[in-house]
Structure 1
Amino acid sequence: MFMTILPLALVDGISYASLLFLVSMGLTLIFGVMGILNVAHGSFYAFGGYAAATFLPWVAMYTDSPWLLMATLFTVALIVGACMGGILEIVFIRHSYAYDPVLKLLITFGVFLMLEDVRGLIWGPQPYSANEIVQSMGNTELWGITYTSYQLIVVPIIALLAYLGLSYFLSHTNLGKQTVAIIHNREVAESQGINAKKIGLITFTIGAVLGAIGGALSAPTTSLVPGSSADMIVLSFAVIATAGLGQISGALIAAILIGIARSLAVYLAPDFEVATPYIIMVIVLIIRPNGLFTVAQARTI
C-alpha cells in the first residue's frame, strides 16, 4: 500500500512545496536583507491569488491558450506584488529600520490586519478559484498515474526558475552584490556608498512579487478563502525556521521536506496533516536551535 501511495505523495508534496517555497523565498529574502519578519507577507500571497482568480476566468472567456493564461497570471502577480511591496516599503517599512525587531514585527502585523480588511472589502467571504489554466494544459501520465501537467510540471519548474533567477541576481549582478554586502554588514556597505534605501525597496518589492506569484499559482488548484493568508504565513515561518533565518537554499530543502511529509500525512495519517509541518519544525529546532542550515556564530565580548 505504501509503495502505491508514495508516487502520489511525492508529486503532491513537490507541487505543494513549490508554492510554499516561492512564498518562503520572498519572506527569507526580506529577513536576510532587512532583518524584518514580515507578517504582512501572507497578504501578498492572498492578494496575488485573489487577483489571479478574478482575471483568469475573464481572459479564459476569450482564449483557451495556456500561454496567454499563464501570461495573464504572471502579469497580475507582478503588478500586485510590485505595487503592494513598493507602497508598503515606502510608507511603513522604510521608517522602521532603527526600531527594535519586536516593533518591526508588530508594524507588519498591523499592516497584515489592515490588508485583511481590504481583502474582505474587495472580494468578500466567498471562495475564489480559477481552474481554467489547469484544464487548458491537459494531463500527463507518470508511473501509470495521470496528473495534471500544471501540477506535475509547470509549478515546480516555475519555482526552480525563480530560485535560479534570484541566485543569479544575488551572485552576478551589481545590485545583487550590493544586496549581499548589506546582508553581511549594513553600516560598512553604506559607508562604501551603497544606497541602502534603494536596496531595501528593491528587496521588499522582489519579496512581495514572489509572494504574489505563489498566491497566483495556487489559485488554479486551491480555493482561496478568508484566512488563506494567515495559513500561508504561518507555514512560511515554519519553513524558514526549519531552514534557518535568511537561508534561501535551505528554505528550498525545508519546503520540499515539509511538503512531502505533509502529503504523506494526508494519505497515511490525515489527523496529523495540519500539525506535520510544525512537528518537523519543533524537532529540528530542538536538535539545531538555529535551523538546519545556519552555522552558529561565537559570541563576541
Structure 2
Amino acid sequence: MDVAVFIFADGIVYGAWLFLVAVGLTLVFGVMKILNVAHGALYAIGAYAAATVVNSEAFGQVEGFAVLLLMLAGAIIAAVLLGPLLERFLLRLFYERDEVVLLLVTFGLSLILEDVIKMIWGVYSYYVPGPYALFGNIEAGPLFYVGYDFFIVGLAVFVGLVTYLVLDRTNVGKVVQSVIHDDEISRAMGINVGRVYLGAFTFGVFLATLAGAFTAPMIAITPSIGVNAIILSFAVVVIGGLGSIGGAAIGACIVGLARAAAINLWPEAELFVIYAVMSLVLLVRPEGLFGQIQQRKI
C-alpha cells in the first residue's frame, strides 16, 4: 500500500513538471501547426534568465516568496524579447512552405540558440538554490518530499486552467479557435491571422521560459538541459495528441506515473518505460489519445 502511495505522489509531481514543460509545445502546434523543436532551447533560456535575475547584485537583497516574482519576471523578459523577434523575422518567412521545412527551421534555431546560450552564459553550471527551500519539507510516512515540488504541481494546474479558460471562454480564444479551424476563412472574415500567430507563438515561448525559470531551482542549469526537455515534451504531446492541452495533461500524468512505477519497482527501466508507453499509444492511436485525424485540404 505504501509503495502505491509513493508511486502516485512521485508520478503526480513528475507529471506536473512534464506538463509545465510540454504545454507550450502543444499550444504552438495546435494553433500554428509548427512542431517547435527550439522549445527546449527556449526552456533553457528561461532557466538561465531566472538564474541571472535572482543571482544579480541588483536583487541580492530580495528574499522569501518575492524571489518567485523575480523568476517570473525573468521568464517574461525572455519571452517578450525572443517571441516577437523569432516569429516576425524568422518563422513568418516560411509559413507558406511545407511543414517539414518549418520543422528543420526550428531545429536549426535550436542549435543557434544553444550556441547563443554558451556565448552569453558560458558552459559552466548555474545554480538557484534559494527558492527550492521556500516551502520546506512535507512528510509522507517514512519519506520526506520537498515542498517546492508540490508548488510545481500547483503551478502546472494553474497554467493549465488559465490556458484552457483563455482558449475556450474568452473572445480572444474564439478568434484563436477560428484560426485553428480554418485560417483561410478566418482571413476572409477579417481576422488578422498574422497577429494571432504572433500572439500564440509569443505565449508558447513564455510557457517554455516559465517552465525553465521555475525548474531552475531544482537542477544544475547547463546549455544542454533543453535537449532532455524537448525529448520528454515530444513524448508527452505524442501520447496526449499534438495540439491538445487536455491531452498534454493526461499524457504527462501517464508518463509521470509510469516512470514513478518503474523507479520504485524496476529502476533499470526508468527511461525505457516512457518510450514504451509512447510506442504502445502510437500503435493503438497514431494521432494520440486526444488527437484528431486531420483531413487533407485539396
TM-score (structure 1 length as normaliser): 0.93
Pairwise CA distance, 1:55? 2.5
Summarize deviations over 1:250-277 as a string: whole Å, max 9, x none: 1100011101211222233222212222
Task: Give, in whole Å, the separation in 1 of the partners of 2:297 and 2:128.
Answer: 53
- Match of residue 204 from structure 1: 201
Gaps of 5+ in 2: none
Specify every segment of 5 or more residues in structure 1 that has no aligned partner in the other structure, as ranges.
Answer: none
Q: How does 1:124-273 map to 2 (within 5 A)?
A: 124-143=122-141, 145-152=143-150, 154-273=151-270
Question: Given the superposition, is the C-alpha separation of residues 297 and 102 from structure 1 closer, same or farther in structure 2, using an over 3 Å criterion?
Answer: closer
- Match among 7, 23, 26 for residue 25 of structure 1: 23
Equivalent position of 2:64 in the other structure: 65
Which residue, 262, 271, 275 being the options, matches 1:274? 271
Q: Deviations over 1:85-113 (max 9, x none)?
A: 11111111111111101100011111111
Deviation, 1:298, is 6.8
Shift of 1:167: 1.0
Which whole-Å CA distance do the structure 2 matches of 1:75 and 1:293 have between them? Answer: 33
Compute the displacement of 1:143 (Å).
Answer: 4.2
In structure 1, what is the equivalent of residue 117 of structure 2? 119
In structure 2, what residue type is equivalent to 1:267? N
Q: Distance in 1 between matches of 2:296 and 2:55?
A: 55
AA aligned opposite 1:186: D
How far, CA to CA, are the matches of 1:168 and 1:236 in structure 2? 22
Q: 1:5 to 1:129 in 2, by over 3 A?
A: farther
Equivalent of residue 288 in structure 1, options 274, 282, 285: 285
Maintained 8 Å contact 1:130/1:219: yes
Q: Which whole-Å CA distance do the structure 1 matches of 2:127 and 2:259 have between them?
A: 22
- 1:224-261 superposed Cα distances (whole Å, 9 cap, x missing partner): 22321111111111111111111110110001110121
Mark the CA change 1:78 to 1:274 in structure 2 (over 3 Å): closer, same or farther.
Answer: same
For 1:265, give the aligned amino acid.
Answer: A
Q: Is the 8 A contact 1:175 1:199 kept in 2?
A: no
Q: TM-score, normalised by structure 2?
A: 0.93
Computed over aligned residues only, the root mean square deviation of the Cα atoms, in angstroms, reads 1.9
Report which stretch shifted further, 25-34 or 264-273.
264-273
Q: Residues 223, 265 of structure 1: CA spacing in aligned structure 2 closer, same or farther, 3 A cutoff?
A: farther
Deviation of 1:175 after TM superposition, in Å, equals 1.7
Q: Cα offset for 1:221?
A: 1.0
The residue number in structure 2 matching 1:88 is 86
Instruction: Within 5 Å, give how 1:22-61 maps onto structure 2.
Output: 22-58=20-56, 61=60
Q: Is 2:134–2:148's contact at 8 Å kept on the other side of the alignment?
A: no
The alpha-carbon deviation at position 144 of structure 1 amounts to 5.4
Distance across 2 between alignment mates of 1:21 and 1:29: 12
Identity, % of aligned pairs?
39
When structure 1 is superposed on structure 2, of 44-53 and 189-198 the one drifting more is 44-53
SS at match of 1:146: strand
- How many Å apart are 1:200 and its aligned residue? 0.4
Q: How many residues align?
A: 297
